[in-house]
Amino acid sequence: MEHQLIPISIEDSFTFSCTPGISCFNECCRDLNQFLTPYDILRLRKRLDISSTEFLSRYTTQHTGPETGLPIVRLREDPTSGNKCPFVTEKGCSVYEDRPSSCRAYPIIRVVSRNRESGILSEHFALIKEPHCRGHEQRYQQTVREWIHNQGLAIYNEMNDMLMEIISLKNQRFPGPLDFISLRHFQMACYDLDSFREQVFHQQIKNVSEFDPQLIQNALKSDTDLLKLSLKWLKFKLFGTKD
């Protein structure tokens, strides 16, 4: 039986729970094809207390997306262990508090669309049911809205939406591959935040001073604000817009 995708609204309820007592515990952490967003990388590398450059080298692989022509980062799996996640243990996820957004959201899938005229975002949700998962047989019930809150997804969704806006603009204005320099800018601003920090605050990157001074000050203290700054800079660099 293949997996099912069931449309669901943000106020609809569903039953699901994942605990070590369930027979399928850790099964979803194997045979992975785990993509990482910029905010996923930020949280994971802070959790591991290593630089973004080291995290990318040690734990990920990169390739160019065939549809977007943009760099995509995947978590590197171990083929000898059934392609399981490098952070999974017999007791569960060793980075659970900072796990990637797709792991955090499961079994809910969130899709965002943007109105081209108004720029307003619309959220759409689906419940995924896979044959191996026994979590749906548990009695714990919550709405999608409650799930988003309980799983700490709000900040992930906010940061991921900033990235999706850039991808959407790129697809509209520059279908096909980006030039080499633009690709390097994208890779650095999205994934290698420590390199971006070093270049920004050593004034090797131009145009940053044109952004909100408070955001720039906040970026000195907060990696989340630094990522917001880097994505705004990338949007300006690629499309000439600061909106």
* Chain centroid offset of residue 33 CA: 14
The whole-angstrom separation of Cα 144 and Cα 126 is 10
- Which of these, 96, 97, 86, 101, lies nearest to 55 by C-alpha position? 86
| Domain shared by 72 and 169, yes or no | no
Q: How far apart are CA 47 and CA 140, in angstroms?
A: 29
Same domain as 148, residue 43? yes
Give yes or no for a contact between 33 and 43, defined as CB atoms under 8 angstroms apart.
no
The DSSP letter of residue 76 is: P
**Cβ atoms of residues 114 and 73 within 8 Å:** no
Which residues constitute the domain of residue 222?
165-239
pLDDT at residue number 1: 52
pLDDT tens digit sequence for 22-78? 889 888 887 778 899 999 999 999 999 999 999 999 999 998 887 788 899 999 877
What does the pLDDT look like over 186-242, one tens digit per residue? 999 999 999 998 887 776 666 676 778 888 888 889 999 999 999 999 998 898 876
User: What span, in angstroms and rounded, lies between the C-alpha atoms of 80 and 45?
Assistant: 24
* Shared-domain flag, residues 85 and 203: no
What is the spatial distance between Cα 208 and Cα 217, in angstroms, rounded to a whole number?
12
d(CA 239, CA 45): 29
The two tokens of residue 178 are 């980006």
Phi, psi of 35 (to 5 degrees): -85, 145
Residues 228 and 151 in one domain: no
Within this chain, do residues 70 and 143 fall inside the same structural domain, yes or no?
Answer: yes
Same domain membership, residue 80 and residue 132: yes
Chain Cα centroid distance, residue 195? 19
Partnered with residue 78 across adjacent β-strands are 84
Q: Report d(CA 107, CA 126) in Å as an integer.
A: 8
For 15, phi then psi, to 5°, come to: -105, 130
Q: What is the pLDDT of residue 77?
A: 78
Residue 172 binned pLDDT confidence (cut-offs 50, 70, 90) = confident
Same domain? 53 vs 31: yes
Domain end (from 131, 156, 181): 156
Q: Which of 156, 183, 201 is the last residue of a domain?
A: 156
Q: Which residue has the tokens 């979590």?
A: 135
Same domain, 8 and 122: yes
Rounded CA separation 140/230 (Å): 39
State which of 156, 177, 193 marks the end of a domain: 156
- Asked if 170 and 108 sit in the same domain, the reply is no
- Per-residue pLDDT tens over the stretch 149-169: 999 999 999 999 999 999 988
